[in-house]
Structure 1
Amino acid sequence: MAVSPWTSARRTVGLVVFGWASAAATTCVAYLALGYEAVPISVGVLLCLTFAVMMALLHRAFWLTVLSAVPALFILVGSVQYAPEAALEQRGVRETVVIVADTAAGTSSDNHRFTLRGADGRTLPEKLQFNGGLGAPKVGDRLDIIRDPESAVPMEQADDVDAAGRLSGLVGGTVTWTLMALLAGWRGHVRRRRGRDSPLAQLL
């Protein structure tokens, strides 16, 4: 059965709008849930999966659906990390500290919780978190950190705070989603016009 070009266009526009709305919604949730990364991550993963399913069902573009996971990763990381890093850049306090203790010292754990001493000699109440063995700082190392005076956002090493970079990844991933949706919309319309809507044809 022939499908109107306008119907295919509406479906494509709807998918594009959903993609941008998903990125915006995840970013807003990250702002509202500062300090609780699991919340925006859960929302972002759900919306990314929904986008992928919509692309597959509406446009019969399964290989594009698989490829859409790459920009989805940039969108997820960018939307989740942008809010806390922007908060640190806007109101964070930059300090030079020395690592005086590591919870992972003497163990096989790669989950480090560093106790830090400030330039005034006082120990900071908040610990710096570092997950991973490669490149982990050691006791005695001097670091530049940015901490949130309101304690809503975990402190980070100053070099790791890059809100502009997170935003670029978020926008770039969403633009890539848009291009994929346009390609999928055209492909889906052509397949429907040719009557290639069987499950086997959808995989070709």
Structure 2
Amino acid sequence: MGGYAVDPWQSVRRTLGVAACGWLAAMLTALASYLALRWTWVPISVGVVLCLAFVVALMLLHRAAWIALLSAVPGLFILVGAVQYAPELALEVRGVRESVVIVADEAASTGGDNHRYTLRTADGAELTERLTYNGSAWAPEVGERLDVIRDPEGVVPMEQADEVDATGRLGGLGAGLVAWTLMAVLAGWRGHVRRRKGRTDSLLLSL
């Protein structure tokens, strides 16, 4: 069966456009995180929608779905990095480090996995802010001593000190974007080949 004439420059433009969409999704999510430090659900919602949009664009570019499915892995790094970088950077810059002991846990009375810990500092003062932890795996227990970093302005939620790593979040974000860019290049090339062969009627898991 003969091939089809496909403009290679059009394929290049499509590839660059999809790669740019990935970078734009990350930047917009990070911007939403910076502007909505107090409401973490805002950048999470924005990031999920934009990441899904990139996955769909990658699938359409490739005319197959397996690269798009694989892109969900670096997409998770991008989402976590873009959402967490701004608040963790704020804690590193202006946060106050405290050595505390857990004196109470609301989840103990409700039986749930959404923990809200009451903390007491080394000098016996009880913090008004509660440390939250969702899930049962590796959850701190009452009586356990922790180092936490809290925002004196009360904008960014308190976090355990060993979990605050803005540089690591930025590194994960960058690694995810590099992976997305390479995937866009591969998808653009494979999509160009599929279109040239006339294989444009399926979005199945085909090579």
Question: TM-score, normalising length from structure 1?
Answer: 0.95
Letter of the aligned partner of 2:187 in structure 1?
A
1:152 — aligned with what? 155
- Once residues 23 and 104 of structure 1 are traced to their aligned partners in structure 2, the CA distance between those partners, rounded to angstroms, is 35
Decide whether the 8 Å contact of 1:2 with 1:195 is kept in 2.
no
Question: TM-score, normalising length from structure 2?
Answer: 0.94
Letter of the aligned partner of 1:120 in structure 2?
D
2:117 — aligned with what? 114
Q: 2:68 aligns with which of 65, 69, 74?
A: 65
Output one character per residue of 1:40-84: Cα deviation in whole Å (capped at 9) or x when no partner: 011111111111111111221311011111111111111111111
1:154 shift after superposition: 0.4
Decide whether the 8 Å contact of 2:64 with 2:204 is kept in 1.
no
Letter of the aligned partner of 2:193 in structure 1?
V
1:139 shift after superposition: 1.6
Summarize the Cα distance change of 1:138–1:28 in structure 2 as closer, same or farther, 3 Å threshold. same
2:30 — aligned with what? 27
Where in structure 1 are there 5+ consecutive unaligned residues? none
Q: 1:50 aligns with which of 48, 53, 76?
A: 53
Summarize the Cα distance change of 1:142–1:58 in structure 2 as closer, same or farther, 3 Å threshold. same
Q: Using the aligned pairs only, state the percent identity.
A: 65
How do 1:125-164 and structure 2 match up within 5 A? Answer: 125-164=128-167
Q: Secondary structure at the match of 1:104?
A: helix
Q: Secondary structure at the match of 1:84?
A: helix
Q: Secondary structure at the match of 2:108?
A: coil
Output one character per residue of 1:120-142: Cα deviation in whole Å (capped at 9) or x when no partner: 32111100001122222222211
Q: 1:179 aligns with which of 171, 177, 182?
A: 182
C-alpha RMSD of the superposition? 1.4
Output one character per residue of 1:97-132: Cα deviation in whole Å (capped at 9) or x when no partner: 111111112443121111111123211110000112
- Once residues 13 and 119 of structure 1 are traced to their aligned partners in structure 2, the CA distance between those partners, rounded to angstroms, is 55
2:202 — aligned with what? 199
1:88 shift after superposition: 0.3
1:199 shift after superposition: 2.1
Q: Secondary structure at the match of 2:43?
A: helix
1:3 shift after superposition: 1.3
Q: Secondary structure at the match of 2:177?
A: helix
Q: 2:6 aligns with which of 3, 7, 13?
A: 3
- Once residues 39 and 153 of structure 1 are traced to their aligned partners in structure 2, the CA distance between those partners, rounded to angstroms, is 14
- Once residues 47 and 134 of structure 1 are traced to their aligned partners in structure 2, the CA distance between those partners, rounded to angstroms, is 30
Letter of the aligned partner of 1:18 in structure 2?
C
- Once residues 62 and 81 of structure 2 are traced to their aligned partners in structure 1, the CA distance between those partners, rounded to angstroms, is 27
Decide whether the 8 Å contact of 1:196 with 1:202 is kept in 2.
no
Q: Secondary structure at the match of 1:150?
A: coil
